[in-house]
Amino acid sequence: MFDTRKLLDQFLGAGGLPGSAGTQLPQATRGRQPTAGAQGGGSPLDALPGGDILGRMLNSGALGGAAAGGLVTLLMTNKKSRKMAGSLVKYGALAAVGGLAYKAYSDWQTGKSADATRDETAAAAPPPPPENSAFLAGGAPQAQSDLSLALLRAMIAAAKADGHIDADEQARIFGFLDQVDLDTDAKAFVMDELRAPLDVDAVASAATSPEIAAELYAASLLVIDDQNPAEKGYLAMLAARLKLPEDLVAHLHATVAGAAAPEAPAG
């Protein structure tokens, strides 16, 4: 079996690429169309549109990140929530996604408003959840590996929720997979999941606790455009299958939206 946590890190960009550590997004690349992988050892984020927001996420230290790029940036080429791409974290991808879900879940439990959750998350990225919490699968290595696999499946399913991943998107994904330090089984897993029929029940079946259900939904929000009708419908189905209360869903949306919010102008 391949290293699922390593693949999750690479998927969100936390694993880094050659030449990517500390990469800043140059002004000249903003608004250009994505290419099939970086050239000359650069980051896959170079030349992706929306670099202003991606740069804010990476270079201001949102979620603790400083390196660049991940497969998620390629899956979200035309999606509004691409602004969440590049959430590279010193904690690792599992802890980063867990931190978003933990913030939403905790605020929901204490009765804090979703608006307050959004504002707080916009001001400062949430830290990782407690080490032994359900959001980190109780800290058990095998359980964390299983959770990483479930989050990967959730994000890939969300990327397919608009109905397809076309040949051009697949070419960019192949280009990315050629660059990253992953074994053959991990790369085959990604392509098999991309080609498989969309199955919301398979995603939801991994929710062995309410906390993991919230985390699967948060991971899906990182990829999806919740204003696209097809993707909005997918989210509604996923929330129902995960048995998430409506007000918790609102907090999860608020947390991810806050983390994706553009930085307020100085002065």
Summarize pLDDT for 75-87 with one digit per residue, the tens. 654 443 444 443 4
The structural domains of the chain, with segments of one domain joined by +, span: 17-84, 93-260
In this prediction, residues 10-25 reach a mean pLDDT of 46
The reported pLDDT for the residue numbered 70 is 66
Mean pLDDT of the chain: 73
> Measuring CA to CA, which residue among 5, 7, 6, 55 is closest to residue 30?
55
Find tokens 């309410």 and name the residue: 210
Dihedral (CA of 92, 94, 99, 104) sign: positive
Torsion of CA 254, 224, 92, 196, to 10 degrees: 150
DSSP 62: G
> Which of 104-118, 123-137, 139-153, 218-232 comes out lowest in average pLDDT?
218-232
CA distance 211 to 244: 10
Amino acid at 210: P
Dihedral (CA of 45, 235, 213, 173) sign: negative
In this prediction, residues 9-17 reach a mean pLDDT of 65
In this prediction, residues 175-185 reach a mean pLDDT of 80
Is the pLDDT assigned to residue 126 strictly greater than 90?
no
Is the pLDDT assigned to residue 52 strictly greater than 90?
no
Could you report the per-residue pLDDT of 201-214, keeping only the tens digit for each? 999 999 999 999 99
The reported pLDDT for the residue numbered 82 is 44
Chain centroid offset of residue 14 CA:
10
In this prediction, residues 177-198 reach a mean pLDDT of 85
Dihedral (CA of 105, 107, 110, 112) sign: negative
The reported pLDDT for the residue numbered 224 is 83
Find tokens 């419908």 and name the residue: 233
In this prediction, residues 118-146 reach a mean pLDDT of 91
The reported pLDDT for the residue numbered 152 is 92
Is the pLDDT assigned to residue 18 strictly greater than 50?
no
Amino acid at 168: D
Could you report the per-residue pLDDT of 105-117, keeping only the tens digit for each? 999 999 999 999 9
In this prediction, residues 96-104 reach a mean pLDDT of 93
CA distance 17 to 95: 20
